[in-house]
Amino acid sequence: MNIGILGTGSMATTLGGAWVRAGHTVRIGGRSEAAAQATAARIGAAGHGSLAEAARFGELVLLAVPAAAAPESAGRLAAELAGRTVLDCTNALAPGADGLMLATPAGRSVAQRIADAAPEAHVVKAFNLCHESIWTLDRLEFAGAPLTVPFCADAEPARQAVTTLITSMGCTPLPCGPLSRAAYLEATAAFAIGAWWSGAEPRHAFPTPGVAQ
């Protein structure tokens, strides 16, 4: 697939690199042409350009900008994003006295705010749970099983496109319902990252029913 990436930071670099290795054609878009060029060269992307150029290029478009800026960025590019599958990998998190908390209104996800700003785009919440370093690995397998990638989406073509993308990386897609459930993926990130910061291993809190004796 042709994938446009909006942003030049760590998630843009690591996910973009994973998609290049999976055989997709990636174009990096940035506010700075120099930064876009450097990121494209680092991961072996097919090209670079402005944010609008990358948005127009992609069948899928990754919005890899800070969560606080994501809805506004999507709104500015709404015309270019219309009809495209837009991946939101952001987490709006803030440390506080009670620990790591969501920095969004209760029940209102960043992904839904992006969809409001670009109403003709097909927004998907995905790739927000793993640390950026995970996407640099050649084999995305842990404890003998492929990495599972949860996602939330409304439009069937977007669900199919993201399923194909996740599978092409050697991972297992996990549909988690419509975009209205994206807030749960964002809350899961807050829980998991907070647990990691405390030195705990959150995956041990989720044994499958099949292992019960």
pLDDT, residue 194, reads: 86
Residue 83, helix vs strand vs coil? coil
Render pLDDT for 137-155 as a digit per residue (tens, 0 to 9).
Answer: 999 999 899 999 999 999 9
Pairwise CA distance, residues 194 & 9, whole Å: 22
| pLDDT single digits (tens) 3-49 | 999 999 999 999 999 999 999 999 999 999 999 999 999 999 999 99
Q: What is the mean pLDDT of residues 195-210?
A: 83
pLDDT, residue 29, reads 98
Tokens of 143: 């404890």
Angle, alpha carbons 37-162-174 (nearest 5°):
130
The pLDDT score that the predictor gives to residue 119 is 98
Compute the distance between CA of residue 48 and CA of residue 70 in angstroms, rounded to an integer.
20
Query: Which residues have a Cβ under 8 Å from the Cβ of 159 and sit 6 or more positions away?
Result: 124, 151, 153, 175
Q: Which two tokens stand for residue 159?
A: 């669900």
What is the average per-residue pLDDT within 124-129?
97
Amino acid identity, position 155 = A
Q: Residue 212: pLDDT band by 50, 70, 90 thresholds? A: low
Quote the percentage of the chain above a pLDDT of 70: 98
Q: What's the alpha-carbon Rg for the chain, to the nearest Å?
A: 17
pLDDT bin (cut points 50, 70, 90) of residue 213 is low
